[in-house]
Amino acid sequence: MADLDIATSGVDEFSLAYCTDYDLHEQTYQYDFSKKQVQKTPKGPRRIHQMPAPDVAESPASRPKFRGLRFLDAQNVVATLNRPGGKGAELRVYHLYPTGPAVMILQMSLPSHIKQAVSLDVCALDGDKRGNKQVVVAVAGQDVSIVMYTLNYTRNTDTFSRFRHYQTWKNVHPQQMTKLCLSPFHSPVRAPDSVEKPGNEEKAQASVPSHPGPQYIRMASVSYGNTVVVDTFPLSPLDPTNKASRYVLSSPSDEWWQKAGLTYFAFTLPVLLAYLVFYLMYPEESAVVTVLNRLPMGVRNYLPNGKVGGTAVQSFGNQVHSTAASIVASDIPTAVPGRQTLQNLLSVPGSEQNALVVRHDPANTGVAVDVHPDRKALLAEHAEAKHWDDLSDEHKAEWRRKLISAGIWAEHEGEKILKGVMFSTYAGFVGQAAGEILREL
């Protein structure tokens, strides 16, 4: 056994997960304290993932090995893997289902200076009223370095963001590290909003701070040289003006700019596409060309190459402001940084109110992605669309191929993103409704 971890999954219930060199296992326990009896589900540990065996032409020793394992929450685990021959290490996140195998939803290679991961630990920070939270992930390397990342969890879509680098420390100890641990974090008690004056039924605002005092998490590491290093990291409220705000390790300004950037993109994309549609319909209007040419290169790279949603141009007409905005996924250059994937679009603030529509593009070999602001209206108008679970196996296989070919979804992201979605190739949906609609989970 390489590593194990335990997570509480309910009242009087907990889950144990452990990894060997090539396998992940899980076992759920329910303990009746009154009868002092334990019930296991299933009766023995179940293997939830097995490292794929190498091809016949490859050496049996070419399989990566699991090194560390930690629960992110009761349904998701993060693991470190070491590639053979000291060729590097990586982080992977797996989603656990009540039955059947786990699905890998995130994968990231560690920095090149880490040839082998030595130890792993996580710390889940407090969540807000919607269940969103941040998780801190720390990894110790063979080069006596520690690298720390953050993951943002969105409850509405039940998804994690990509790993975001926080900081790297080198030469932490004089000798090889053996273990690192992050302290748990508990949400601080908030003072009441108001107090009642004695002898008076009216309430007055209490002179209490707008937010609890400074909060911290700590990280301890030990080495073969019997040395111990403890580091302290300050946490900040995501919204300092809100006393009930959750805490984050990354700077609140960084979080704000990240959200603001996504929001700005969501609002400006339809406007940019409207300019592009107008240019396609009236190419002689030099003013529109001038506007497009003066856009920043980073913005122009996000635009399709010369068209907007194939025949959806005709359905937009002069009503682009009230219909869905469309991106032909196959027309987006592969090398464009920040390329919009389904996961990116689902992470846009306020996306729970939108409909993301994926449809077959009749003018291309790929697919088109539409963003519609009125999800309920779209569902009522186009009842022919089907959710992922309602598709046949043949249709699922065809959509997987199309999404991967278009570059807006990858297998390692898992089908969990697609389960909250509707798909269709019905011709009447062109420009408005053929595809994927985000459901509330």
What pLDDT, on the 0 to 100 scale, is given for residue 336?
32
* 280 and 306 both lie in a single domain: yes
Q: Alpha-carbon distance 129 to 189, whole Å?
A: 15
Phi-psi region of 273 (alpha: psi -120 to 50; beta: other; left: phi over 0): alpha
* 225 and 358 both lie in a single domain: no
* 361 and 221 both lie in a single domain: no
* 166 and 301 both lie in a single domain: no
233: buried, middle or exposed (CB in 10 Å: 19+, 13-18, 0-12)? middle
User: pLDDT tens digits for 149-201?
Assistant: 999 999 999 999 999 999 999 999 999 999 999 999 999 988 776 555 555 55
- Mean pLDDT value across residues 267-290: 62
User: pLDDT tens digits for 41-71?
Assistant: 888 899 999 999 887 667 777 899 999 999 9
Domain count of the chain? Answer: 2
Q: Which two tokens stand for residue 295?
A: 């856009």
Asked if 331 and 305 touch (Cβ cutoff 8 Å), the reply is yes
* 145 and 70 both lie in a single domain: yes
With respect to residue 196, please indicate whether it lies within any of the assigned structural domains. no
Q: Alpha-carbon distance 213 to 56, whole Å?
A: 60
State the helix-helix crossing angle for 252-281 and 286-293, rounded to 10 degrees.
150
In the block, which residue shows the tokens 């997987």?
400
User: pLDDT tens digits for 224-256?
Assistant: 999 999 999 999 998 888 888 999 997 654 555
- Mean pLDDT value across residues 281-296: 53
With respect to residue 203, please indicate whether it lies within any of the assigned structural domains. no
* 130 and 242 both lie in a single domain: yes
With respect to residue 243, please indicate whether it lies within any of the assigned structural domains. yes
Domain with residue 38: its CATH number is 2.120.10
Question: Whole domain around residue 92: which residue ranges?
Answer: 3-187+211-247
Higher pLDDT, 401 or 76: 76
Asked if 66 and 24 touch (Cβ cutoff 8 Å), the reply is yes
Q: Alpha-carbon distance 118 to 245, whole Å?
A: 35
Q: Name the pTM for this structure.
A: 0.58
Q: 146-153: long-range contacts (C-beta < 8 A, 24 or more apart)? A: 146/172, 146/177, 146/180, 146/219, 146/221, 147/110, 147/111, 147/114, 148/219, 149/91, 150/248, 150/249, 150/250, 151/72, 151/93, 153/72, 153/73, 153/127
* 163 and 91 both lie in a single domain: yes
- What number of other Cβ atoms are within 10 A of residue 398's Cβ? 15
* 288 and 225 both lie in a single domain: no
